[in-house]
Amino acid sequence: MSAATPPRLALARPAHHPLTDIVRKAGWAPVPYSFTSLKLTGSRPPVSFEKIKAMLLLSPSGAKVVGPSLPAGMTCLVQGAGTADALEREDLDVHLPSEARAEALWELIQKRFPGGGDFLLARGERSREFLEVAARNTAWRIYPWITHRESPRVPFPPLPDVEGVLALSPLQAEILAPLTGKVQRFAWGEATAEAFTRAGAPVHARCDPKPSLLWAMLAQQLASEENPKEESPC
């Protein structure tokens, strides 16, 4: 496909979002496709705000759920700028890691609180449990608070006319797999790629959940299509 007509890639992010911008910079035309919705679990935090060193937030969804209930001045360690913005609070002590990754957030936790302590982690029902696993048997005690779950929209919107889809979670991969046919499938993270495979629709490429790697994956895939003799990055 020529540079004048970039291939279209559907992803569950709005038109003005950092990941959408990366898709565009990689040479693809992003197509916002909102096919899931946020469902609140209604669960209460397993530990009180007064007993924790900081609130840990992995996603904008979690930030939107817990933001209104946080006490003023609370320290919040958030995974990325989008999550910080979703808090919509000016009275919180918000800190971001060097990269928008759970691994970088874990480094930030250890750096800011070298003595350890108790931390409350707001996350989705099927979010990967990296922080809980990393903190196991350490001085940093992380209490997961399952605040929300991702569910297919009802009524379900049809897949747009696109050349590719990007799944950002295992659930999204499970939903998209039977819809894609010959459409190229891309996965954000290993667990998401595995979900595609379990659903009978292996990915054409996957990347670790890091923006720079998403750009590299999509740019390389586009280059391999324009130059078929080159080896595919898949």
For residue 228, name the pLDDT band (cuts at 50, 70, 90).
low
* pLDDT band, residue 17 (cuts 50/70/90): confident
List for the chain the helix, strand, coil content (%; round to 5): 35, 25, 40
Closest CA to 112 of 129, 94, 99, 124: 94
pLDDT score at 229: 54
Q: What is the pLDDT of residue 2?
A: 47
* Segment 215-228 mean pLDDT: 88
How sure is the predictor about 44, in pLDDT bands with cuts at 50, 70 and 90?
A: very high
State the Cα torsion 61-66-67-68 to the nearest 10°. 130
Number of C-beta neighbours around residue 38 at 10 A:
16
Mean pLDDT of 131-152: 95
pLDDT for position 162: 98
What is the Cα gyration radius of the chain?
19
Would you state the pLDDT for residue 32?
97
233 has a pLDDT exceeding 50: no
Question: 74-78, 99-103, 184-188: which has the minimum mean pLDDT?
Answer: 99-103
Is 0.75 topped by the overall pTM? no
pLDDT band at 25 (very low <50, low <70, confident <90, very high): very high
Mean pLDDT, the chain, as a whole number?
91
Alpha helices in the chain (DSSP H): 18-25, 60-66, 81-87, 102-112, 130-135, 170-180, 190-198, 211-226
Checking if the pLDDT of 11 tops 90, the result is yes
What pLDDT was estimated at residue 102?
86
Distances (CA, A) of 195 to 92, 138, 169: 36, 31, 9
